[in-house]
């Protein structure tokens, strides 16, 4: 795909269809959240979901704001042949959004009770709203950056991969919504957990762009992105390991530690370069942490029963 030489109508459709597909999927799984919570939990939880929506929109819109603005500037400068300036726009957008995300994370963690009261949470709705925002706060950087990364990947000549990430994340969200709310009876917290897991899947799929031949983004970000993707799951895994150790569930704690530090790490380091090339070593840490995150969440969910 050559953005300067290919037919304009063809290029327009190649970007339009994935963008519309992504938007439709996001709308569908947002609607599914509301339906599952309303049918599976109750009207109070659905009202609490409405209260948390503005707080969630603030996070998502930050990623869209910097993603759209930065990607447009990047594309314009690539079009006139100034690749160096284009890369600067990308790097600047990423750094500023990262700093803003840290500020939002601190603000949300410390001020959530006040924010929920401001949104109208009374004594009945507050516990449900707080339960939902607990998982949103835990995965807040993923919530902010999921759209940001997808937008820049789309602008980096890979719209289909961006769409695939959104669709797969949406499907996972819908399936886990139903599983967490109905069979596992996790309530509104289960819906929140399903949403953030879907976003993690989206980021993971889209991040494969950095290993592809289409990748034209600065090498700085390739290394930073892998570290960012690994950071959040690693924190959850460490907390889960310490938690199980503290409540004397030694087997679960040992399993998480061995998987992270010895078993999966060793297997991935030996296997990835053989089949995916030497550059695949950069993604070993994110892959290991995300797989172990699934194990940790399974143990935690089982403990709640």
Residues 239, 274: one domain? yes
Two structure tokens written together for 290: 């995300």
Q: Is the pLDDT of residue 223 over 60?
A: no
Residues 6+ apart with CB under 8 A from 256: 237, 240, 241, 244, 292, 295, 296, 299
Each residue's pLDDT tens digit, 123-173: 889 999 999 998 899 888 888 888 888 888 888 888 888 888 888 888 888
**Beta carbons of 74 and 155 less than 8 angstroms apart:** yes
Residues 152, 279: one domain? no
Residues 6+ apart with CB under 8 A from 268: 284, 287, 288
pLDDT at 284: 78
Cα(100)–Cα(144) distance, integer angstroms: 10
Residues 146, 265: one domain? no
Q: Maximum Cα–Cα distance for the chain, whole Å?
A: 64
Total structural domains in the chain?
2
Q: Report the candidate in 195, 188, 189, 194 with the shortest Cα–Cα distance to residue 40.
A: 188
Q: Is the pLDDT of residue 201 over 60?
A: yes
Residues 225, 210: one domain? no
Please report whether residue 152 resides in a domain.
yes
- Across the range 9-31, mean pLDDT stands at 68
Residues 100, 245: one domain? no
Please report whether residue 293 resides in a domain.
yes
Two structure tokens written together for 219: 């090498």
Residues 77, 103: one domain? yes
Each residue's pLDDT tens digit, 274-292: 777 766 666 777 788 888 8
Last residue of a domain, one of 177, 194, 215: 215
| pTM of the full structure | 0.71
Last residue of a domain, one of 180, 215, 250: 215
Residues 6+ apart with CB under 8 A from 243: 300
Two structure tokens written together for 83: 């690749």
Two structure tokens written together for 10: 């063809």
pLDDT band at 107 (very low <50, low <70, confident <90, very high): very high
- Across the range 290-296, mean pLDDT stands at 84
Helix axes 264-276, 284-304, angle to 10 degrees: 140
Q: Could you say which DSSP state residue 122 is in?
A: -
Which bin fits 218, alpha (ψ -120 to 50), beta or left (φ > 0)? Answer: beta
Average pLDDT of the chain, as a whole number: 81
What are the backbone dihedrals phi and psi of residue 70, each rounded to the nearest 5 degrees, phi first? -70, -40
Please report whether residue 264 resides in a domain.
yes
Residues 178, 249: one domain? no
Residues 84, 200: one domain? yes
The residue count of the chain comes to 305
Last residue of a domain, one of 195, 215, 235: 215
Residue with tokens 């410390």: 110
Q: Report the candidate in 149, 1, 123 with the shortest Cα–Cα distance to residue 66.
A: 149
Please report whether residue 126 resides in a domain.
yes
Please report whether residue 183 resides in a domain.
yes
Residues 36, 185: one domain? yes
User: Which range of residues forms the domain containing residue 280?
Assistant: 218-305
Residues 234, 197: one domain? no
Residues 6+ apart with CB under 8 A from 192: 131, 132, 133, 134, 135, 136
Residues 51, 129: one domain? yes
């Amino acid at each position: 795909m050559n953005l300067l030489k290919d037919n304009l109508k063809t290029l327009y459709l190649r970007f339009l269809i994935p963008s519309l597909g992504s938007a439709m999927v996001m709308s569908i799984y947002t609607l599914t959240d509301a339906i599952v919570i309303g049918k599976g939990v109750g009207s109070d939880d659905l009202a609490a979901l409405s209260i948390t929506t503005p707080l969630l929109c603030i996070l998502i819109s930050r990623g869209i704001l910097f993603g759209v603005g930065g990607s447009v500037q990047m594309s314009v400068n690539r079009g006139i042949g100034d690749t160096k300036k284009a890369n600067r726009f990308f790097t600047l957008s990423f750094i500023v959004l990262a700093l803003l995300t840290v500020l939002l994370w601190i603000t949300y963690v410390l001020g959530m009770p006040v924010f929920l009261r401001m949104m109208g949470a009374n004594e009945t709705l507050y516990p449900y709203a707080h339960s939902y925002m607990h998982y949103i706060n835990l995965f807040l950087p993923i919530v902010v950056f999921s759209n940001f990364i997808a937008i820049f990947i789309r602008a980096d000549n890979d719209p289909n991969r961006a769409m695939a990430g959104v669709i797969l994340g949406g499907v996972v969200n819908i399936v886990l919504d139903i599983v967490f709310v109905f069979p596992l009876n996790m309530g509104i917290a289960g819906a929140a957990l399903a949403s953030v897991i879907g976003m993690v899947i989206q980021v993971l799929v889209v991040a494969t762009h950095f290993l592809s031949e289409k990748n034209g983004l600065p090498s700085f970000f390739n290394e930073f992105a892998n570290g960012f993707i690994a950071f959040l799951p690693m924190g959850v895994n460490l907390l889960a390991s310490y938690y199980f150790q503290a409540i004397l569930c030694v087997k679960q704690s040992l399993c998480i530690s061995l998987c992270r530090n010895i078993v999966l790490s060793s297997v991935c380091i030996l296997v990835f370069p053989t089949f995916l090339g030497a550059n695949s070593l950069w993604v070993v840490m994110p892959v290991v942490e995300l797989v172990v995150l699934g194990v940790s969440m399974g143990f935690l969910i089982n403990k709640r029963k």
